[in-house]
Structures are given as structure tokens and as C-alpha cells.
Amino acid sequence: MNIQIKQESPIPLAMIRHTGPYDQLAPKFEQLYEWVEAQSVPAQRCIGIYWDNPEHVPAHQLRSAACVELPMYFVPTGIMGTSIELSTLAGGEYAVIRFIGPYDQLGRVWADFIRHIEQRLKRTISENPAFEVYVNDASTTPPDQLITDLYMPLA
């Protein structure tokens, strides 16, 4: 497993929260990108935030969010009356791995990634949420060519 340890700066975000199975987050991304396009938001990276470990939390209680990274100091408009929230993803030390393949395999990759961090690297995972950066566009990329960078916060 090719894990890198990276120091990340805080990431300003626009996001829509979701509670429920992680594989049901996609409609929130669609809603978020409708807002991005309507407001001409200069979105940078597309990010999914995951607060809970599905091995320990029931699927209907899992917390996640569909996000776009905003340029530093950018103040978006058109948020009133929407489910869009502005937030910041914590900076700090992260274990990072790149996965190429379909999103439906990410659960297995996360489980292996977590085991590797805890058992082989002997590192502790922090209370900050994990997140994924979606490098290419799932609407135009074949599933076996999707690139996802997984970020696990370290204590």
C-alpha cells in the first residue's frame, strides 16, 4: 500500500450535509453542482467528507457531506434559502492514498487503509473527519478509471 503522509492546510468549503448510507450521497453532489453552476462559483476540488466509520455506526446514522473547495477568501452569494453551508476542513497531518477504480470498491479500500495506518504505521487516527478528493469526473470517466484520493487525519 503506497501511503504518503502529508501536511494539509485548512480547506475552505461549500457543502451539503447528508445523514444515511454513504452510497446515497450522490444526489447531494448533484444539488451542490447545480448551485455551483447557477452562482458561477469557482469551485476547485470536489470533496466528500465522512465523519463516521461504517464498521461502527449504523448505516442510517452515517454522517457525510458533498463539498467543493472554494478559493481562499472567496465569499459566495446565493446561499440564503439553500442547504449550502460554508465550512473549513481542518488542516493537519493526513495519511493519503490514491485509488483507481469504481466507487463501489471504496469501502474495502478504506477498511484496508485504516488497518494499515493503525497496524503497520502504528499511527492514531484523529477525531477530524476523513475525506475523499474526486480527481476526475464520474459522469465522463469509465468506473475502472475513476481516481480518488483518500485522506485519513492523523493524531
* pLDDT tier for residue 77 given thresholds of 50, 70 and 90: confident
Fold of the CATH domain 4-153? Multidrug-efflux Transporter 1 Regulator Bmrr; Chain A (3.20.80)
Nearby residues of 83 by Cβ (< 8 Å), 6 or more positions away: 16, 17, 31
CA contacts within 13 A on the Cβ side of 142? 2
| Among 47, 1, 8, 2, residue whose Cα is nearest residue 126 | 8
Q: Which amino acid is present at 152?
A: M
Per-residue model confidence as pLDDT tens digits over 81-130 = 889 999 999 999 999 999 999 999 999 999 999 999 999 999 999 999 99
Place of cell 444539488: 31
Beta bridge partners of 6: 94
**What is the model's pTM?**
0.93
Other Cβ atoms closer than 10 A to 25: 20
3-class SS at 94? strand
Q: What is the tens place of the pLDDT at every residue in 20-59?
A: 999 999 999 999 999 999 988 999 999 999 999 888 999 9
